[in-house]
Amino acid sequence: MCSGMKYNLTGVILLCLFLASCGQSAREQQLEALRAERDSLIVVTQQQDSVKAVFDTYVETIAMSLDSIRTQEQILTLNVDENGRRLRKSEIKSNLELLGEVIKRQRERIEEMEALLLQRGVDSTSYYRTLISHLYEEIDAKKMQVEALQRELSRKNAEVSRLNKRVDMLEEDVASISEQAEEQASLIERQTEIMEAQDQMLNVGYVKIGTKKELQNAGIIKSNIFSGGKLNPAGVDRNLLDEVDIRHMDEVTLMSKKPKLLTSHPASSYRIDYAPDMSVLVILDHNAFWSASNFLIIQL
């Protein structure tokens, strides 16, 4: 009886030991599973931190570029630089081209961010997806603004070009008018000179005053006995006569008591004032006095 009980007790002990061993193995398996899950979470967290660090760098760079783009937009809109100096059109064109390149580069950065999201398998509803969508919208809006400014600049350049052509045409017109005016002035000057010469010719008078002998020696009066001291028109040499402006010849002093006018002049156009040893020819009507001839020959 005692021997049978002894065997039963030993079996119970062995059974308890076996059950205890089975329970310890299950706990260790659970711990291993928890450790694996923890390690997996750590890896995921590290990956997320890595993605976040990369994205933060991208976002910071793009944000700085967008600030720079906004500053350039203000400069281009106001057409003045940071010091208030007005920009030339060539500078505006160059700045617009540079700004277009900056915008193009930032869009490439956004595309790189998007490709990285796809590579890392980030959920399409995540914060980064929303951020990328917003950045696309903003950068595309900036691109459209720059393109609008470039079109506006091209339009203004075209207007300036048309105005320059118009100015060139006006300058050509002015030059042509000036040339015509100079030609007209030259023509008027020549005509004036001709008119003055003609006027001078019309108003020039030839005067010779002398004794009968002096007039004969000059060939002005005939010297034969049959001429009676008559005027010899064919023998008159104008080089021997004095030229006068008949418009300003009002009177002539004659050193003779009885001067004799050998040329024909209307009696009403002049008078002679006599003095003891001299006389004065006074012209009363210039036009009438010189109407018959522009010669005045007086014999003393």
Inside any domain, residue 196: no
Question: What's this model's pTM, rounded to 2 decimal places?
Answer: 0.40
Asked if 233 and 255 touch (Cβ cutoff 8 Å), the reply is no
How large a percentage of the chain has pLDDT more than 90?
Answer: 13
pLDDT at residue 225, as a whole number? 47
Which of 253, 221, 252, 236 is CA-nearest to residue 295?
236
User: Whole-angstrom Cα distance, residue 228 to residue 236?
Assistant: 17
- At residue 30, the pLDDT reads 67
Same domain for 239 and 140, yes or no, is no
Q: Is pLDDT larger for residue 262 or for residue 21?
A: 262
Cβ-contact 154, 121 below 8 angstroms: no
Query: What would the mean pLDDT of 248-271 be, rounded to a whole number?
Result: 91
50 and 122 co-located in one domain: yes
Q: Tell me the residue range of the domain where 139 lies.
A: 28-169
Question: What DSSP character marks residue 229?
Answer: S
* Shared domain check, 112 and 224: no
Residue after which a domain boundary falls, among 154, 169, 184: 169
Q: Is residue 138 part of a domain?
A: yes
φ/ψ (deg, to 5) at 185 = -65, -40
Least confident of 7-21, 31-45, 155-169, 189-203: 7-21
Rounded Cα gap, residues 87 and 74, in angstroms: 12
Report, in angstroms and rounded to the nearest whole number, the Rg of the chain calculated over CA atoms.
63
The reply to whether 251 falls in a domain is yes
Asked whether residue 161 falls in the same domain as residue 206, the answer is: no
Question: Do 245 and 120 lie in a common domain?
Answer: no
Contacts of 79 (CB under 8 A, 6+ apart): 86, 87, 92
DSSP label at 239?
G
Reduced DSSP (H G I as helix, E B as strand, rest coil) percent helix, strand, coil of the chain, to 5: 70, 10, 20
Lookup result for tokens 């809109």: 77
Q: Which helix H or strand E contains 273, and what residues bound it?
A: strand 270-274
Same domain, 55 and 154: yes
144 confidence band (pLDDT: 50, 70, 90): confident
